[in-house]
Amino acid sequence: MMRLYLKESPGGFAPRPPPERAALDRHFRAGAIALCVLLALAGCKKADMYQQQSYRTYDRNPGLPGDTTEQNPVEHTVAQEQPDTPVPQPAIATAQTLARGQQRYDIFCTPCHGTTGAGDGMIVLRGFPHPPDFTSERLLRATAQHFYDTITYGKGDMYSYAARVPPSDRWAIAAYIRALQLSRHAVIAALPQQDQALIASAEPTR
Ligand code: HEC
């Protein structure tokens, strides 16, 4: 049976080289690959940056003060595990506190809790466990201290924000969570007379 050796070329199919040439080509290719592998392996020789001299904590080290590797931490170093100093809850939440709380909340909490606190942040929409709505009965009754503590220690699937949100900001955020709760659970009777009258006279929105 006759065999056709065809090879694709820009102009269409061209006859392939005869089998002896093909075998030669194969040998050449195998040689080239072996050379590349050899070169690549040569590149694996550990470079100096990789095999540099290293010191363990208690090794003698003539380059450092006291000729020892272990050195005292620099002044004002704070241990990572050191609990932060709690700040007492401010007596009132000023507009400034709320603005700060909103800004911090928007940065750190909206990804999960959402801008209204309903627990529908972007990460949750993509599958993260749904946090409770801040306007749930239980959280409406929760103390500001509970919000502060949740930020400090985390809860369940929510990790601690102690390292990112300093104590005074935790109170600011707690105040802002209250504002979020009020924004969807305002009791009209609790408003000043003037505001109640304004609401009563308002046109319903369409
Ligand atoms: C990565 C997602 C995520 C982020 C970011 C996040 N939380 Fe949460 N949070 C959760 C989840 C999930 C829960 C529910 C935890 C559980 O009960 O297992 C929760 C619960 C809470 C609760 C309710 C605790 C309770 O008693 O049920 C509060 C309050 C809260 N978070 C406040 C915050 C604040 C304030 C921030 C920003 C500083 C924040 N969270 C950032 C996911 C998050």
pTM for the predicted model, two decimal places: 0.66
Ligand 1 pocket, 166 CB below 6 A?
no
Low-confidence ranges of the chain (pLDDT < 70): 1-19, 21-24, 36-47, 81-83
CA of 92 to the centre of ligand 1 (A): 24
Ligand 1 pocket, 173 CB below 6 A?
yes
Give the CATH architecture of domain 101-188: Orthogonal Bundle (1.10)
Which amino acid belongs to residue 4? L
Which pLDDT does position 2 carry in this prediction? 47
CA of 93 to the centre of ligand 1 (A): 22
CA of 59 to the centre of ligand 1 (A): 46
Helices 95-108 and 167-185, packing angle to 10 deg: 90
